[in-house]
Every structure is written in structure tokens, then in C-alpha cells.
Amino acid sequence: MTQSHSSPRDARDTILSRMDQAAKAAGRPAGDITLVAVSKKQPDARVEAVLATGQRVFGENRVQEAQARWAGRRADHDGLELRLIGPLQSNKAQDAVELFDVIETLDREKLAKALVKAMDATGRRPRLYVQVNTGEEEQKAGLAPAETANFVARMREAYGLEIEGLMCIPPVEEPASLHFALLAKLAAECGLAKLSMGMSADYETAIKLGATSVRVGSALFGPRPDPA
């Protein structure tokens, strides 16, 4: 599945064409799905190579690492969109709001409060996704599926936060399709149109089940130097 030996341009072309095929097979418009290039832990040279292909949407899972990588690159790359896809501590909310265009890991009220405060202080309003712990794994961030609809409603009513969509990271040892289908069902119940789901190994499955963005790291950049 991974294309670690091909150039970033070939790898990206392959991924984009597989995405289009998966969309078509699902009766969805091709080009309707956003490729989020997950650059966490990748060497700068590979990030530059992927930027050179025209890729503009990137995902990072740590605020500090993302600041170091992207703060200086913004000015040189029009249309850059940065997405936080890793857990966010409330005390990093302001840094995250300053850097990211999309925060995909909102999963608790304390963080919502911190985000509102940071938005007021900075005047920036990143788009927000709620992370759902579809596998109800103890060690994993995200809301329990049964709490999701209430939480999304409460974000709007109590905090004035519009939620764009839902995000999940399925358990590694289970078929991802079950979790993608659950996330799609929850989003429909919440009236949300956007679904962030699918990674290198399963982005086509995610698209068949309704993903509007897929988060692809190793299949695009090659394997991460450090195990994640």
C-alpha cells in the first residue's frame, strides 16, 4: 500500500487517482475529497518535496513541532491550510488557534472554553471538528459515540462554536470500515456534512463510506523516521 520508493509527485498522483476512483465507485463526485498530507515527524526535505507538488493541505499532530515547521513557511506558500489532528491541551489552545486553520480534535468542554478564549484574544476562528472515540478505547482521545450529538449541540448553544464535522481514528486491530460507518451515522444524526477519516492503509474504504477528507502520511511521504 505504501509508496515509499516512488517520488513524492508520483506517490501523490497515485493517491489522488485512487481517491477519485474510490469516489466514483461510491457514486460521489471525483475531486470532492480533500487530501490532508500528514507531515508529522517527516524530515524537512520531504515536506519541501511534497509542497513542490502543489499540495497545500497539511496535518500535524503536535503544536510545537508544527510551529517549528510551518510558522516560517506560511509566507512563502499561498493557500496553505494547516490542520491539527493530534490531541490538544487546553494550555496550548492559544498557540493552536494562532497556527492552525482547522482543529480536528475538539473533545471536551474545558478545551472548548480555552478555544473560545483564544479566538477572542486572537480574532482567528479555525474551523472545528469533534473527535469521536468510535472504538471506545480507554487510552484514546475523543468522545464516546453516545455523547457526540449532545456535545455538538452544546458547542453551538453554550459556546457559539459551529462544528464543521467529525473525526475518528479507528482501533488498529479492528476493521476500520465499522468505525467509518459509525462516524458517518453519527455525523448524519448531528446534521454535519464533513467526515475526517481514513489514513494510508484505508483511505479508499473511508471514501466509500463518506470521508470528505483523508489523512495520509506514510503513503505520501514514505515511512516516518521515528515510529509514531
CB of 152 to ligand PLP, least distance (A): 20
Q: Is 55 in the site for ligand PLP (CB under 6 A)?
A: no
Q: Is 15 in the site for ligand PLP (CB under 6 A)?
A: no
CB of 215 to ligand PLP, least distance (A): 4
Nearer to ligand PLP, 47 or 169 (CB): 169
String of b and e for 35-54 (b: at least 16 CB within 10 Å)? bbbbbbbbeeebbebbbebe
**In whole angstroms, what is the distance from residue 80 CA to residue 111 CA?**
25
Q: Is 215 in the site for ligand PLP (CB under 6 A)?
A: yes
CB of 141 to ligand PLP, least distance (A): 10
Q: What is the crossing angle of helices 8-25 and 44-52, to 10°?
A: 60
Nearer to ligand PLP, 38 or 116 (CB): 38
CB 41 within 8 A of CB 226: yes
CB of 127 to ligand PLP, least distance (A): 16
CB 175 within 8 A of CB 209: no
Q: Is 51 in the site for ligand PLP (CB under 6 A)?
A: no
CA 177 to chain centroid, in Å, comes to 17
User: What does the binding site for ligand PLP look like in residue numbers (CB under 6 A)?
Assistant: 38, 40, 61, 85-86, 169, 199-200, 215-219, 228
